[in-house]
Amino acid sequence: MNGKRVLVAMSGGVDSSLAAVLLKEQGYDVIGATMQLWPSYLPDPTDEGGCCSLTAVEDARRVAAKIGIPFYVVNFQEIFQREVIDRFVDEYAAGRTPNPCIVCNTYVKFGALLHKARQLGADYLATGHYARVESGEGRYLLRKAVDASKDQTYALYGLTQEHLAATLFPLGGLHKSETRQLAAAHDLSVANKPDSQEICFVHGDYRDFLKTFHPELHRPGDIVDLNGNVVGKHEGLAFYTIGQRKGLGALGPKPMFVIALDKDKNQVIVGDSSQVMGSSLLAGNMNWIAIPDFQSSMRVMAKIRYSFPPAWAIISPAAADERTASTASATAASVTAAGTVTDLVKVEFEQPQRAITPGQAVVFYDEDKVVGGGTILQAHPAH
């Protein structure tokens, strides 16, 4: 017997369910827990909906009973509302595009739930994420999953050394097809359950969520081109994101895309397909994993969206003038536990990138190893 106790975050899906099974087979003393996150004012989603729905709780409870482990439901509605939903709304109101899954991982799963795990005497917290943790080079390292198509390290870059020391990812060495096959072999009822949607608390389009629960964000204004010419009207900055084309209407003879959002002037700025390309960015709220701190330039692969492929870039400490110019942007909500707004990094891409978006994360890789990452504060157009 392993003897070590592990709390498994069970979402009611196939991944976390199999994670619990595998850890029990490895001899761990396994406890299952589902986080009750769903705010009472939101309608409960369908079975195919979010990972924090009422049906998800029941699916997790059934799996825990089948494999014979204790099961708890922990109420994190307050912290989820404060750290994830409120932050999500505030970022859109500020003209940025947030990634609530990253915030949830950092503050809720590996923050509040890890604290609960320790209260229950657990040595580790485990999830069904596709990623790997290794100890080496004097640090805990976060590496990509074996299944590149399911790798979730982008959403986990905010984990600190303390988090990683207490984290297990049992599925990091599996392909998704293997996960479903093993779940079926163990006769788990969730073996063929569809994966949950990306934003668990948004049932449908995020714009509908904002319009329904935050009508104050409906602040119409001008759509302008790069020369300041008014070419249309918008419904409110919160309903637009960098790179967006759909929903702008006919603004001219050729397709136009959102290339910037100006909160001070309440303007959506548009341009053609070439003008949505960016050559560099400034990032803040940094969290370093593979290195203790960042002092000199490095060549890395940088990823600016979960669904985007990484691209070669040079990262370097931001110069003094860049730090001064980014003071306002650096007040963006932090999404890492360790980051600070003064820890600014310049990212210069070897090839222009499409739709570099303030509020999103940029994550740096050295082959399959996560070097670190931060929040995009400013994007600079390609020349």
104 belongs to the catalytic site: yes
Give every CB contact of residue 315 below 8 A, 6+ residues apart in sequence: 294, 297, 298, 300, 302, 345, 346, 347, 348, 364
Kindly name the residue from 51, 52, 101, 200 that is annotated as catalytic.
200
Closest listed residue to residue 128, CA positions, set 163, 174, 162: 174
Separation of alpha carbons 160 and 157, rounded Å:
8
| Burial (0-12, 13-18, 19+ Cβ within 10 Å), 256 | buried
Tokens found for residue 307: 């669904």
Separation of alpha carbons 348 and 332, rounded Å:
21
52 belongs to the catalytic site: no
DSSP-derived pairing of the beta strands 221-224 and 267-271: parallel
DSSP-derived pairing of the beta strands 277-288 and 267-271: unpaired
Tokens found for residue 113: 């739930």
Helix (H) or strand (E) holding 179: helix 176-185
Closest listed residue to residue 373, CA positions, set 298, 261, 271: 298
Q: Cβ distance 229 to 247 under 8 Å?
A: no
Q: Cβ distance 233 to 223 under 8 Å?
A: yes
Kindly name the residue from 51, 52, 101, 104 that is annotated as catalytic.
104
Tokens found for residue 258: 């959102």
- Name the phi and psi angles at 56, rounded to 5: -65, -40
Give how far Cα 120 sits from Cα of 77, 164, 225, Å: 20, 19, 57
Catalytic positions, please? 104, 200
